[in-house]
């Protein structure tokens, strides 16, 4: 298998895992939206199947990517969850 094929297979598997988690817990997207709105966070739901959000920090408009199905904040392997994200967005 070529490197590109392996990479594509890994990306597809990760996307499938996110979709399965969101499907099992559809309230995670609604909960994230409620939290963003309660805290005045600018957000955009990019993919409803994976619970993928784009959110912008108030102080400098830095983009954060969040996956509601798993609580993953892209680029932050040691930090997870909506409440951690809210703290970073409000900073």
Domain positions in the chain are 1-90
pLDDT at 64: 96
Under 8 Å between Cβ of 82 and 32: yes
pLDDT at 25: 66
CB atoms within 10 A of CB 45: 15
Under 8 Å between Cβ of 90 and 82: no
The secondary structure element, H or E, covering residue 57 is: none
Question: Is it the case that residue 22 has pLDDT exceeding 70?
Answer: no
pLDDT at 77: 86
The secondary structure element, H or E, covering residue 83 is: helix 82-90
Long-range contacts of 41-45 (CB under 8 A, 24+ apart): 41/86, 41/89, 41/90
pLDDT at 18: 62
């Amino acid at each position: 298998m070529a490197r590109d094929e392996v990479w594509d297979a890994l990306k597809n598997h990760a996307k499938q895992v996110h979709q399965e988690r969101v499907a099992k817990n559809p309230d995670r997207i609604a909960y994230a939206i409620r939290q963003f709105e309660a805290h005045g966070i600018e957000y955009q739901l990019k993919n409803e199947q994976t619970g993928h959000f784009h959110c912008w920090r108030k102080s400098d408009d830095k983009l954060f990517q969040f996956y509601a199905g798993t609580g993953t904040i892209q680029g932050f392997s040691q930090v997870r969850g909506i409440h951690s994200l809210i703290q970073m967005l409000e900073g």
